[in-house]
Amino acid sequence: MYQRTVEKTVEVVGIGLHKGESVRLRIEPMDAGSGILFYRSDLAKTIQLSPESVLDTRMATVIGDAEGYISTIEHFLSALYAYGIDNLRVILEGNEMPIMDGSSISFCLLLEEAGLRRLDAPKKIVRVKKSVEVRSGGKYVRLDPCDEALFDFEIYFEHPAIRRQNYSFTFSTGAYIDEIARARTFGFAKDIQYLQSQNLALGASLENAIGLDERKVLNKEGLRFPDEFVRHKILDAMGDMMVTGYNILGRYSSFAGSHALNHELTKALFAQSANYEIVSFEKLTDTQYAKSFA
């Protein structure tokens, strides 16, 4: 399998989750070996995607520095992971990605509109060689060696619409579109009210998130999946793993994981060379994994 970019430049306009302002997003093809580059056109600032570029993980995954940042990149990165995109220029006029409908399906459609281009260089991935785990209280995230890309997630909320949910997902692009991409982010009405009083989540609405009061889901259309909440957590985890700039071959598992724990996991993975290796697809003996991106 070879590295991928998009065939043509495409753009979309949406609302930013936290500022509530209109955001124009444009994606452009890049050559092999370029990686994923974010560009703030209003600041003429380029941010290379990597764990070292992560600035904040409290409300979303944020990359950049004190001179300029881009927030809420995880849903977009999740779509890049699913389509095996290795090289891309991502241009924004502001400091956050558009939230779209709160899932990644709009970004999947954007990539399909742009088309996929095969580049003349082998695709490289991160293969997990040694188990790595990060814990905080009763929460954890973990990567284990595996010949497939697997994502196992469990959550528990003391809310009648959620309670305990778990989902196991074996990655393929097609399965991602069917099982994960349409799962929306979610929030509790009491938390949204507080955040908006702090000038955050100003763009949040039932058009781009699942809203919950103390008893029920507030969206009139209901849920897209009975376990949409945990599926969205997998969507987020895939996006946070894509911060490495690579698809990952291994088993990701979590209980109550978060953007912060996922970031610590990627740092722990790369902290020791014995934990991982960056390999070309041509060196993999498991051809089934290559078929995941078909």
**Has 259 been annotated as catalytic?**
yes
pLDDT of residue 294: 75
The domain segmentation of the chain, as residue ranges, is 2-122
Candidates 18, 75, 232, 259; catalytic one = 259
Give me 145's structure tokens. 């060696």
pLDDT of residue 251: 98
Helix count and strand count (H, E) for the chain: 7, 20
Question: Could you tell me the pTM of the whole model?
Answer: 0.96
What pLDDT is recorded for position 285? 64
Q: Does domain 2-122 have CATH number 3.30.1380.20?
A: no
Structure-block tokens of residue 159: 């809310």
36 contact partners, CB below 8 Å, separation of at least 6: 48, 49, 77, 80, 85, 86, 87, 88, 90, 242, 245
User: Each residue of 183-242: pLDDT tens digit?
Assistant: 999 999 888 877 777 777 788 899 999 999 999 999 999 999 999 999 999 999 999 999
Below-50 pLDDT ranges, the chain: none
**Residue 51, helix vs strand vs coil:** helix
pLDDT at position 291 is 82
Six-digit token string for 103 = 């899932």
Using alpha carbons, list the distances in angstroms from residue 85 to 5, 116, 124.
Answer: 6, 8, 11
pLDDT of residue 75: 98
